[in-house]
Structure 1
Amino acid sequence: MLEVILKSLADSEPVHAPSYVGGTWTDTRDSGQRTGPYVRRTVSTASTVGPTDISEAIEKADRYAPQVADLAPAARADTLECASAAATAHRDALARLLALELGKPLKDGLTEIDRVASTLAVCASEARRIGGETLPVAGWGTGVGNSAFTYRAPAGVALAITPFNAPANLLAHKLGASFAAGNTTLVKSPPQAPGTTAAIVALLLDSGMPPQAVQLLHGGGETGSALCAAPEVDVISFTGSAPTGAAVARAAGAKRLILELGGNAATIVCEDADIAAAAKVCARTGYSNSGQSCISVQRVYVHRSRYADFLDAFTAAVDTLVVGDPLDPGTDIGSMVDEAAADRVVTWAAEARELGAGILRGGERDGATVRPTIVAGPPDNASVVMHEVFGALVAVMPYDDFDTVVATCNTSRYGLQAGLFTHDLKRVFTAWRRLEVGGLIVNGSSNFRLDHVPFGGVKDSGFGRESPRWLIDDFTTVKTLTLRGLSVWGDRTELGDENQ
């Protein structure tokens, strides 16, 4: 199937994304169309599923789960390593597909596919090290004469619901880690990226993933709700907005959940920071993928003594960014996912201006393409400060006191990741301790992630941690074996005097 998808891409034809159920690529009742936000034409179609298809996929996944669990970790790891190499081999074509479906610049798409390869390789490594423990039961009187052991067993049926902004790499995290753990996985694709999702599933199948290990379903919210509510599903990994995450939790009921939700990321620039370097980093990471990242730089707080210098350097750095065709290798900023998302950014920038902020750059759009927007000095009640923009806009504000700015950062209902530019270690540890976030990036912006490091948030940013090692913990269950009357430890509670 990957060959078919890539051939359509090479022929400049719309990519068709069938569903994959029961080991067969199938065209179901109707096809949804994806209009590329930059090219403004149909770039992919998807075979959307109905209730019968969903029921069949759930039944098959439940039946296949014991079979996939029997596959040795070494075999799972070999498949994932093969898939990692395949991602690298097809990186150019896959990046082009991302550009067409999402308006993501080629340079960002190439980076995402490189991360897919890295993520799958890490999943392979983690599959090889899944183990258990010998428990020290004889350390307490009640355990004397017994032995106990644990191992991490596959959870069974996993559900992976992926977002549009990084559909390839986040699917690699979820499906790769689930397979590494020994599960079968139901994949629900984002409607904005059906072709990319089908391509990654096909890549894994072509690399040796058994057909019993994955089912791919295309559809909207009703499809996701039906899958979440299925009693056969044992664990759900969802990445998306906070409201949708709450709906997932309600539909799921008493299931294990990993929810990576929204963000309103803050970066603090202290007076001792390298202002020029900080400005360049914030410009590059505030507008990459048109700001459509849950950790994208949104709020920048700069010490008042350096505020004017930072704004000058930041504006100059933003002026160097190239806005245009995402298929052009030189483009830094393509389009947003659709015109409605672009309009939200422009509307919020206009609101901030009415509240007294300065719009130093941008604040306008051409279709789904938003020019990089700089909002200077918005008040705390502006939407660009209070809510998740998820777009090509950065708000820059001055602060006077470090303790106060940390508290200000914490006023957000989100808490995913933050950035801090300083050389003062006391401030580093203070921020690490006090900031209500899942991760802190020092001398970098909030928008930095290593795929083999735990990633996730607090508050409305969700719970659980993405990254293969930590996902595998959630995708497995601890099973304990206790041996009565058989001990690997000493089983005497006192010594006699036979040696005296």
Structure 2
Amino acid sequence: MLEAMLASGAQATVVRAGAFVDGAWRTAGPQSERIGPYLRRPVSTAPVTGPGHVRDVRRCARAAARSVARLAPAHRAEILERASAAAAGRRDELARLLALELGKPVKDGRGEIDRVADTLAVCAAEARQIGGDTLPVAGWARGVGNTAFTYRAPAGVALAITPFNAPANLLAHKLGASFAAGNTTIVKAPPQAPAATAAVVALLIEAGMPPEAVQLLHGDGRVGAELCAADEVSVISFTGGAATGNAVARAAGAKRLVLELGGNAATIVCEDADIAEAARVCARTGYTNSGQSCVSVQRVYVQRPRFAEFLDHFTEAVAGLTVGDPLDPATDVGSMVDEDAAERVVRWSAEAAASGARVVLGGRRDGATALPTIVADPPDDASVIVHEVFGALVAVLPFDDLDEVVERCNRSRYGLQAGLFTRDLDRIVTAWRDLEVGGLVVNGSSNLRLDHVPFGGVKDSGFGRESPRCMIEDYTVVKTMVLRGTSLWGGRP
């Protein structure tokens, strides 16, 4: 399956992305079609999920949970290490699928596949660390004469629902950590990236992942809701928008959830910062993947004495970005996921201009390609400030002092990650303490993620933390054993 999909991608023919159910690839039946946003023609197809498919997946997952759990952690780790090496070896081919399906520049796609390789390697390392504890039961009178232990056992069946913007790496996080923990996993692919998702699943299977350890379905929110409600599922990891995250929680009921939701990330540039460097970093990270990242730079607050200087440097850097064919290695900004997404950038920048802001660059689109847009000094109630743009638009605003800008940042319903440029240690500690976000990047923009470091937000940005170690904790349960009448610690005098 993997070879066939990569060959189709290389030849720019339509890629057939199968579903993987009960240990076999299925490509027959009615198909959904993905139109490439840059090419504006069909680039991939996937079988439509029917009620019978969900029933089959539930049955198979329930039956497979015990056998997958009995695989030794060392064996799981070896499989993940082979998959990591395979991802690195197929880097260009996998990046091409991302470019075809999503309009993601191939240079960004290569970076995503590099992260897939890293993430799977970290998952392998964490699989080797799964253990437990000997509990100090004899430290309290009622525990004297007994011994107790814990270990982390697989949760059973995990459900991974992935988004379109980084479908390969976020699947590597969810599926890699779930398998490292010893679970069988049901994957619901994003409709916009069926082939990229199927390719990662196929890569893991070819690396030796037992067929019963994973199943893949394609479909819309209806399929996701049905899977979330399934009694067989023990834990759900979802990445996507806040509204859909709320729907996932309602459908799931009393299950463990890890929800990584939206953001409208802020970066603060203080007057003591290297302004030219801050502008360069914000320009590079504000338009990566056309701004379609939950931590993409959306709001930049610059201390007023340096505001005009920053805006000049920033405008020059953004104007120098290459917009065009995502398959061209020189392209910095490709297309967005569809024309509706690009139109949102155009519409919101026009709304801001009508409220007194200045559109310095962009504000236009060509099909699904939104030209990199800069909106200077919009009001705090503008859509580009209040809501998640998730597109090729950055708003730049002045501020006067740190307390004021922290308060303005915290008005957001989101709180995923922020950036801060300053040399002042007191400002750094104050911002880390007072900003209502899950993470702070110092002397960098909000758009930085190290895949082995805990990542997640507060407020409407979700809850739980994503990194292989944190996710393995969510994907496992603590089991306790008490040896009554047998003590490692000695008894009473």
TM-score bucket of the superposed structures, by smaller chain: over 0.9
Are 2:331 and 1:331 equivalent residues in the alignment?
yes
Whether the 8 Å CA contact 1:28–1:49 is kept in 2: the answer is no
The aligned residue for residue 85 of structure 1 is 85
Quick one: percent identity of the two aligned structures?
Answer: 72
The amino acid of 1:13's aligned partner reads T
Structure 1 gap segments, 5+ residues each: 495-500
Give me the whole-angstrom Cα distance separating, in 2, the residues matched to 1:381 and 1:474: 37
Aligned residue for 1:397, secondary structure, equals strand
The amino acid of 1:41's aligned partner reads R
Give me the whole-angstrom Cα distance separating, in 1, the residues matched to 2:134 and 2:75: 25
The amino acid of 2:122's aligned partner reads V
Give me the whole-angstrom Cα distance separating, in 2, the residues matched to 1:30 and 1:165: 26
The amino acid of 2:218's aligned partner reads H
Whether the 8 Å CA contact 2:16–2:27 is kept in 1: the answer is no
The aligned residue for residue 118 of structure 2 is 118
Aligned residue for 1:44, secondary structure, equals strand
The amino acid of 1:311's aligned partner reads L
Give me the whole-angstrom Cα distance separating, in 1, the residues matched to 2:252 and 2:436: 27
Aligned residue for 2:212, secondary structure, equals helix
- Runs (4+) of structure 1 exceeding 2 A deviation are none
Whether the 8 Å CA contact 1:19–1:28 is kept in 2: the answer is no
The aligned residue for residue 269 of structure 2 is 269
> CA deviation digits over 1:432-471, x for unaligned, max 9?
1110000000000000000000000000000001110000
Alignment of 1:56-455 (within 5 A): 56-455=56-455
Alignment of 1:480-495 (within 5 A): 480-492=480-492, 494=493
Give me the whole-angstrom Cα distance separating, in 2, the residues matched to 1:63 and 1:274: 58
Give me the whole-angstrom Cα distance separating, in 2, the residues matched to 1:252 and 1:292: 27
Whether the 8 Å CA contact 2:16–2:46 is kept in 1: the answer is yes
Give me the whole-angstrom Cα distance separating, in 2, the residues matched to 1:210 and 1:453: 28
Give me the whole-angstrom Cα distance separating, in 1, the residues matched to 2:82 and 2:27: 28
Give me the whole-angstrom Cα distance separating, in 1, the residues matched to 2:482 and 2:403: 51
Give me the whole-angstrom Cα distance separating, in 2, the residues matched to 1:14 and 1:416: 37
1:9 is displaced (CA, Å) by 1.5
Give me the whole-angstrom Cα distance separating, in 2, the residues matched to 1:22 and 1:325: 39
Whether the 8 Å CA contact 2:10–2:96 is kept in 1: the answer is no
1:490 is displaced (CA, Å) by 2.2
1:401 is displaced (CA, Å) by 1.2
Give me the whole-angstrom Cα distance separating, in 2, the residues matched to 1:15 and 1:279: 40
1:13 is displaced (CA, Å) by 1.0
Give me the whole-angstrom Cα distance separating, in 2, the residues matched to 1:27 and 1:447: 37
Aligned residue for 1:447, secondary structure, equals coil
1:28 is displaced (CA, Å) by 4.5
Aligned residue for 2:287, secondary structure, equals helix
1:320 is displaced (CA, Å) by 1.0
Give me the whole-angstrom Cα distance separating, in 2, the residues matched to 1:275 and 1:27: 53
Whether the 8 Å CA contact 1:29–1:49 is kept in 2: the answer is no
The amino acid of 2:330's aligned partner reads G
Give me the whole-angstrom Cα distance separating, in 1, the residues matched to 2:151 and 2:491: 24
Give me the whole-angstrom Cα distance separating, in 2, the residues matched to 1:79 and 1:14: 30
Whether the 8 Å CA contact 1:29–1:50 is kept in 2: the answer is no
> CA deviation digits over 1:226-272, x for unaligned, max 9?
00000110000000000000000000000000000000100000010
The amino acid of 2:38's aligned partner reads Y
The amino acid of 2:300's aligned partner reads V
1:25 is displaced (CA, Å) by 0.3
Aligned residue for 2:390, secondary structure, equals coil
Structure 2 gap segments, 5+ residues each: none
Whether the 8 Å CA contact 1:2–1:199 is kept in 2: the answer is yes
Are 2:27 and 1:27 equivalent residues in the alignment?
yes
The aligned residue for residue 36 of structure 1 is 36
Aligned length: 493
The aligned residue for residue 498 of structure 1 is none
Give me the whole-angstrom Cα distance separating, in 2, the residues matched to 1:12 and 1:249: 39
> CA deviation digits over 1:105-143, x for unaligned, max 9?
011000000000000000000000000000111111111
The amino acid of 2:167's aligned partner reads P
1:29 is displaced (CA, Å) by 3.2
Give me the whole-angstrom Cα distance separating, in 1, the residues matched to 2:29 and 2:252: 26
The amino acid of 2:252's aligned partner reads A
Whether the 8 Å CA contact 2:95–2:106 is kept in 1: the answer is yes
Give me the whole-angstrom Cα distance separating, in 2, the residues matched to 1:104 and 1:128: 34
1:27 is displaced (CA, Å) by 2.3
Aligned residue for 1:295, secondary structure, equals coil
Whether the 8 Å CA contact 1:28–1:48 is kept in 2: the answer is no
Give me the whole-angstrom Cα distance separating, in 2, the residues matched to 1:106 and 1:5: 17
Give me the whole-angstrom Cα distance separating, in 2, the residues matched to 1:26 and 1:238: 24
Whether the 8 Å CA contact 2:87–2:116 is kept in 1: the answer is yes
Give me the whole-angstrom Cα distance separating, in 2, the residues matched to 1:378 and 1:62: 53
Give me the whole-angstrom Cα distance separating, in 2, the residues matched to 1:39 and 1:9: 13
Aligned residue for 2:466, secondary structure, equals coil
Whether the 8 Å CA contact 1:298–1:394 is kept in 2: the answer is yes
Whether the 8 Å CA contact 1:242–1:262 is kept in 2: the answer is yes
